[in-house]
């Protein structure tokens, strides 16, 4: 894999160890992720890939007993420094969760929420942003006539695209996705995948997935985790055709996991 | 008889037993209600609601007691609701697991179990004497507010707990802080449960008599309270006073007072049930 210059690195983990209480869930992980790429984290359940994803926007701060050593660098800044405001950080880093989790409010309010909490009151700006975000997440045509309807009345796939729109409304530069399609049917899944492919133009995307074919289809680079170790990190093509480590080979060929 | 048949009979028997237990409570309530209504219904009219207390049972009404009850209710709600909700939010959303939080939690549970007359003694010492409120509406409302505070806190916590964590995560993930998450997402989603708890707590406060007797609330009031520092009486105390009268005619007045008191309680409970159903329909996860 090509070496990245400091400027090219969008996200970076340096000697990262993560603990939940006594249990170590990530062991000395080093990774550098290039801007405007899709990176897939794969590995069996409990390998630490979701935990790793959540260190980039500090969502682990809410987990009891969470402790980390080492550094997480986003845009050249150590995000666990005291100076860093997590609220600011999370505006820059959107997150999409495993289960669609729209707010129990209207479609419009869901997308407008991020602007609202920033204190933006300009109605026109909010309306434009909502429309733009819903178009970006390929949901606009399906919901443009009933933006006032409850978000909970949408189908699962639509809800997930709404959650993506909600994250995009803040104009982040990074999108973290934690198994965004695992709760969806195949048609919704392929819509989400197409979407990820398009969003790559503007965003750096990191996606955790259980689905190996999905990782193969949508990602540029793939990182394979096993029991808290980053076993192998390389171009997706290489990982899926000619991995260096035997464990990676065994996992992607379905011998375990 | 096979054991499967035996088990079936046991199953059926328990079903009937459970039904009987349920009916027991309801039938008792119905007997009590019909007794009260038969005795007191003739008393309930406009005059009864607007007359002052009197030594002649035919002329005696509940106006001051009704006004006192409404005053007490309003002021108690005003004091207990903000404090109760804030404490519930603190416990559920802010307090980290610590020895301190544990200690507070155990004491909260204890507080909910303290007999109401003890609250009366507390109110007498703190509000009536130390703070010099006298036997006023304010002293009564403060005392009752203390009494229902644990109920409001507990029901607020339950309502907040029912909001799935994924909503909070989504909100934090978009850069909201804890307060914004609570204000914009958690509270609106749990409002139904919180309001229901508040109404039930308040309908409990309506019926409380013991603590108000202890703080020295009057039973015979000849004017309508105009401010929180005025003396007052409430419906249950008026009823209690009438029941003690030697003239049996007063028993009818007492029954009439009970009808009004029950109507208010049922009305509040009805509103609580209505709100709960409405919110349940609106918010589905």
Residue B76: how many other CB atoms lie within 10 Å? 26
* Interface-testing mutation among A53, A94, A103, with chain B (most B C-beta atoms within 10 A): A103
* Tokens found for residue B131: 């703070």
Query: In the prediction, which pLDDT does A220 show?
Result: 94
Q: Specify whether B80 is located in the same domain as B14.
A: no
Q: Specify whether B54 is located in the same domain as B14.
A: no
CB contact under 8 A, A87 and B189: no
* Tokens found for residue A152: 């909970």
Contacts of B175 in chain A (CB under 8 A): 86-91, 114, 117-118, 170
Q: Calculate how close chain A gets to B275, using CA atoms only, in Å.
A: 17
Residue A59 has its nearest CB partner, among B169, B282, B284, at B169
Q: Specify whether B28 is located in the same domain as B61.
A: no
Task: Spell out the long-range contacts of B282-285 with Cβ–Cβ below 8 A and sequence spacing 24 or more.
Answer: B282/A104, B282/B192, B283/A104, B283/B189, B283/B192, B284/A104, B284/A152, B285/A104, B285/A152, B285/B164
Length of chain A: 257
Handedness of CA B24, B30, B33, B34 (dihedral sign): negative
Query: What mean pLDDT comes out for the span A30-46?
Result: 93
Q: Specify whether B32 is located in the same domain as B140.
A: no
Query: What mean pLDDT comes out for the span A6-12?
Result: 86
Q: How many CB pairs under 8 A join A and B?
A: 68
User: Cβ(A70)–Cβ(A16) under 8 Å?
Assistant: yes
Backbone angles phi, psi at A144, to 5 degrees: -60, -25
CB contact under 8 A, B172 and A97: no
Distances (CA, A) of A232 to A8, A43, A240, B88, B201: 20, 11, 11, 47, 60
The SS3 of residue B209 is coil
Residue B217 has pLDDT above 90, yes or no: no
Number of domains in chain B: 2
CA distance B89 to B274: 24
Contacts of A86 in chain B (CB under 8 A): 175
Pairing outcome for strands A204-208 and A174-178: parallel
CB contact under 8 A, B185 and A116: no
**Residue B175 contacts A, CB cutoff 8 Å:** yes
Least Cα distance to B214 among B104, B144, B121, B281 occurs for: B121
Provide the residue range defining the domain that includes B211.
48-282
Contacts of B284 in chain A (CB under 8 A): 104, 152
Q: Specify whether B277 is located in the same domain as B154.
A: yes
Enter the DSSP assignment of A106: B
Query: In the prediction, which pLDDT does B281 show?
Result: 66
Quick one: closest CA in B to A95, which residue? B173
All structural domains of chain A, each given as residue ranges with its CATH number in brackets, are: 9-252 (3.40.50.300)
Query: In the prediction, which pLDDT does A2 show?
Result: 72
Q: What is the CATH number of the domain that holds B149?
A: 1.10.3720.10
The SS3 of residue A150 is strand
Query: What mean pLDDT comes out for the span B49-61?
Result: 83
Q: Specify whether B69 is located in the same domain as B178.
A: yes
Residue B176 has its nearest CB partner, among A94, A97, A117, at A117
CB contact under 8 A, B184 and A95: no
CA distance B123 to B108: 18
Residue A202: how many other CB atoms lie within 10 Å? 14
Residue B282 has pLDDT above 70, yes or no: no
Quick one: closest CA in A to B189, which residue? A104
Chain A residues touching chain B at CB-CB below 8 Å: 57, 59, 62, 64, 86-91, 94-95, 97, 99, 101-105, 113-114, 116-118, 152, 163, 166-167, 170
The SS3 of residue A85 is coil
Q: In chain A, what percentage of residues exceed pLDDT 90? A: 75
Query: What mean pLDDT comes out for the span B61-74?
Result: 90
Residue B175 has its nearest CB partner, among A103, A105, A117, at A117
CA distance B118 to B236: 18
Among A99-113, B8-22, B32-46, B141-155, which stretch is predicted with the lowest mean pLDDT? B32-46
Q: Specify whether B38 is located in the same domain as B55.
A: no
Q: Calculate how close chain A gets to B173, using CA atoms only, in Å.
A: 6
Q: Specify whether B105 is located in the same domain as B201.
A: yes
Contacts of B179 in chain A (CB under 8 A): none
Residue A90 has its nearest CB partner, among B174, B188, B284, at B174
Residue B184 has its nearest CB partner, among A87, A101, A117, at A117
Q: Calculate how close chain A gets to B167, using CA atoms only, in Å.
A: 6
Enter the DSSP assignment of A61: G
pLDDT, averaged across chain A = 91
Query: In the prediction, which pLDDT does B111 show?
Result: 84
pLDDT tens digits, one per residue of A153-209: 999 999 999 999 999 999 999 999 999 988 888 888 888 899 898 898 899 999 999
Q: Specify whether B66 is located in the same domain as B138.
A: yes
Q: Calculate how close chain A gets to B190, using CA atoms only, in Å.
A: 11
Q: Specify whether B171 is located in the same domain as B31.
A: no
Residue B174 has its nearest CB partner, among A64, A114, A152, at A114
Beta bridge partners of B56: none
Query: In the prediction, which pLDDT does B17 show?
Result: 95
Residue-wise burial string across B49-60, b where 16 or more C-beta atoms lie within 10 A, e elsewhere: eebbbeeebeeb
Q: Specify whether B131 is located in the same domain as B162.
A: yes
Q: Specify whether B36 is located in the same domain as B78.
A: no
pLDDT tens digits, one per residue of B87-119: 999 989 888 777 888 888 888 888 888 899 999
CB contact under 8 A, A117 and B284: no
CA distance A228 to A163: 29
Residue A57 has its nearest CB partner, among B173, B180, B284, at B173
pLDDT tens digits, one per residue of B115-171: 999 999 999 999 999 998 988 999 999 999 999 999 999 999 999 999 999 999 999
């Amino acid at each position: 894999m090509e070496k990245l210059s400091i400027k090219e690195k969008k996200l970076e983990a340096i000697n990262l160890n993560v603990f939940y209480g006594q249990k170590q869930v990530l062991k000395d992980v080093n990774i550098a992720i290039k801007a405007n790429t899709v990176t897939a984290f794969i590995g069996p359940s409990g390998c630490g890939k979701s935990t790793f994803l959540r260190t980039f926007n500090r969502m682990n701060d809410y987990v009891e007993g969470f402790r980390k050593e080492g550094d997480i660098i986003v845009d050249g800044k150590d995000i666990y420094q005291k100076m860093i405001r997590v609220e600011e950080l999370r505006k820059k880093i959107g997150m999409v969760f495993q289960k669609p989790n729209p707010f129990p409010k209207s479609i419009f309010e869901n997308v407008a929420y991020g602007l609202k909490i920033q204190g933006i009151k300009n109605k026109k700006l909010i309306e434009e942003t909502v429309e733009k975000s819903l178009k970006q997440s390929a949901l606009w045509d399906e919901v443009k006539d009933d933006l006032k309807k409850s978000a909970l009345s949408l189908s699962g796939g639509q809800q997930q695209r709404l959650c993506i729109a909600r994250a995009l409304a803040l104009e982040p530069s990074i999108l973290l996705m934690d198994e965004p399609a695992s709760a969806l049917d195949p048609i919704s899944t392929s819509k989400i995948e197409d979407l990820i492919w398009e969003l790559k133009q503007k965003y750096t995307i990191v996606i955790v997935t259980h689905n190996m074919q999905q990782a193969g289809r949508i990602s540029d680079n793939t990182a394979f985790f096993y029991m808290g170790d980053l076993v192998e990190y390389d171009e997706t093509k290489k990982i899926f055709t000619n991995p260096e480590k035997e464990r990676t080979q065994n996992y992607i060929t379905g011998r375990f996991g | 008889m096979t054991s499967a048949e035996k088990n079936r009979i046991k199953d059926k028997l328990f079903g009937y037993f459970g039904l009987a237990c349920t009916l027991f409570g309801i039938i008792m309530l119905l007997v009590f209600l019909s007794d009260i209504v038969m005795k007191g219904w003739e008393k309930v009219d406009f005059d009864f609601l607007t007359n002052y207390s009197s030594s002649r049972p035919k002329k005696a009404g509940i106006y001051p007691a009704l006004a006192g009850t409404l005053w007490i209710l309003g002021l108690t709600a005003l004091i207990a609701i903000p404090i109760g909700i804030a404490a519930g939010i603190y416990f559920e959303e802010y307090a980290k697991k610590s020895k301190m939080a544990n200690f507070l939690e155990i004491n909260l549970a204890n507080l909910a179990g303290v007999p109401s007359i003890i609250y009366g003694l507390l109110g007498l010492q703190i509000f009536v004497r130390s703070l010099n409120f006298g036997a006023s509406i304010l002293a009564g409302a403060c005392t009752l507010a203390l009494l229902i505070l644990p109920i409001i806190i507990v029901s607020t916590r339950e309502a907040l707990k029912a909001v799935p964590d994924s909503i909070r995560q989504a909100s934090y993930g978009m850069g909201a802080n804890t307060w914004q998450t609570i204000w914009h997402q958690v509270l609106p989603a749990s409002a139904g449960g919180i309001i229901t708890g508040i109404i039930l707590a308040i309908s409990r406060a309506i019926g409380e008599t013991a603590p108000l007797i202890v703080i020295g609330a009057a039973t015979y009031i000849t004017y309508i309270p105009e401010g929180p520092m005025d003396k007052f009486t409430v419906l249950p105390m008026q009823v209690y006073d009438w029941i003690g009268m030697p003239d049996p005619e007063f028993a009818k007045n007492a029954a009439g007072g009970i009808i009004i008191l029950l109507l208010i309680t049922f009305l509040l409970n009805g509103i609580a049930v209505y709100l709960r159903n409405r919110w349940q329909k609106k918010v589905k996860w």
